Amino acid sequence: MTDNKQTDVRDQKTLGEYLQKRGEWLHLLEEDEHHSVRRQITDLITNDMLYRILNKARDSTLILEATCATNPIIHMFITRSYVQDQILAIRKLNEKNSVDHTKGVVSLRRLLTDIKANSNLITRENYVSGDGLPYDYETLSRKFRRNYVPGAIYPQQPHDKSEMLHFKFDRISGVKPDERSRKDTISDSIFQKLDSWMSESGAKEIVEAGNKYLIHAADEKSRKYVSISQFGFTFEQIEKIHRMFVRVEHCISSEILNSSFRGSVAPILAFGFAENLDRPYIAADALPALHKEWRACEAERQTWLDGINEELFS
């Protein structure tokens, strides 16, 4: 990282604070080894797409004869796991950060909230020159053109990058090129838009239903504030939430933090999702072993009440 004193930034105090916060934001977004926001969103989308493939396999128009895809137990477990996974993942990404630092979370909501609260640090000069690039690209560009040798091959020049960052900051600040100032900051309208994408995604409603019926065993009085119908959801609702999450993450990464962005929204799997799906789930001669296992589990559980009165009242 460039030494602060070697940058073309006049307000060194704000630059130091900005670089520290930007490092924290990038860690939440991309670098946390277990729960980075980008990894959470990728897993969210991956699991949804894989479930749709498995669900499609149960489509009556694709099934020529009875297969394990129509087995009610398999269907129940796959669908229940999908619903629970989506609710928990959406809940985590939408979770607010705790004031207790020992209970901090990595979430898209936390990331957006913290950036908004510290947006005064994201000034034009920090955005353009915080990593050592020149602020005044026009002077350097004129000097470069004077010394330009026709036919020569030149790498991208620092002033070219600065010019690009100035134009990017024009968009998120709402400032015209001829009105630029080192102290320009991100327009409130940008954060209002990102907040609206989060609030209008439908995530809050699914999370509230999940809190009552999945995360907590809410009692009758508590459940009346959330309909059981909200616990179910459609693919369209899930797509809307995913789309909004991806858009907010992209804007934070590419526009606000000027960092990397997704090359592909859809996941790139390291394996073929259809591998062995055209084969039986289990060999027919193995079915007796399954029945035997069920009877063993059944017999063990039937003993769990044996001797309860003697132990309770002894």
Classified as helix, coil or strand, 226 is: coil
Q: Region 249-266: what's the mean pLDDT? A: 91
Domain edges within the chain: 4-123+185-283
Residue 221 scores a pLDDT above 50: yes
> How many Å apart are CA 250 and CA 88, to the nearest integer?
22
Cα of 255 vs its chain's centroid, Å: 16
> How many Å apart are CA 69 and CA 279, to the nearest integer?
11
The reported pLDDT for the residue numbered 232 is: 65
Residue 102 scores a pLDDT above 50: yes
Q: Per-residue pLDDT tens for 200-219?
A: 999 988 888 888 777 777 67
Instruction: Tally the C-alpha atoms within 13 A of residue 33's C-alpha that lie toward its C-beta.
Output: 0
Return the top range by mean pLDDT from 57-61, 99-103, 140-144, 224-228.
Answer: 99-103
Helix, strand and coil content of the chain, in percent to the nearest 5, comes to 65, 0, 35
> How many Å apart are CA 207 and CA 59, to the nearest integer?
29
Output the average pLDDT for the chain.
88
Classified as helix, coil or strand, 47 is: helix
Higher pLDDT, 184 or 71: 184
The reported pLDDT for the residue numbered 106 is: 96
Confidence of residue 228 (pLDDT cuts 50, 70, 90): very low
Q: Per-residue pLDDT tens for 23-70?
A: 999 999 999 999 999 999 999 999 999 999 888 887 766 666 677 777
Higher pLDDT, 116 or 230: 116
Higher pLDDT, 276 or 248: 248
Q: Per-residue pLDDT tens for 265-293?
A: 988 887 777 888 888 888 889 999 999 99
Share of the chain above pLDDT 90, in %: 60
